Amino acid sequence: MFESEADVRELQALIDRTFERANPYLAGIVEPERRLSARQVVRYLQGKKHVAFATVNAKGEPRVSPLDGVFVCGRFTVSTGGGAARLAHVRANRACSATHMDGDNVGIVVHGHATIIGRDDDGAAELEPIWRDIYGSSPFDWGEGVVFMRIEPSSMWAYAPHPDSFPE
């Protein structure tokens, strides 16, 4: 787990704010008894999790890519190559979303803005060793212009039909 107690408190506040502002449709599906706490989320999201990472292109059309996500300090991070369309999209418009799902067992959704983190940028020294430990090599060695993208969340929610099966 890469989260401090302060990270967990901040994440719980974000989740609580998201549900306070939720429209009736979302609130009706993700009822309080089906919500995961921040502590459950950070425990579940240890290691690599597959996410659908969404951006918008220059025409405002949505684009979704399957990527590996790593949750660090209460934030999803993904990596991508320098020539990827998703990177060009984020450079033009930082708005993005990511969703992790495991069938009907769990769904975690985050909306926000991506911060691009290259090899020499702030944050790279924290993220690179974590990713290297997971994959056995540095993402910065995977190809031309590889960067991390960290999602700075504006909203986040987590759903599970049986939250008691997700330990805190």
Q: Enumerate residue ranges in the chain where pLDDT < 70.
A: none
The string of pLDDT tens digits covering residues 68-90 is: 999 999 999 999 999 999 999 99
Check residue 2 and give its pLDDT: 87
Name the residue among 77, 57, 74, 101 with its Cα closest to residue 151.
77
pTM for this entry: 0.94
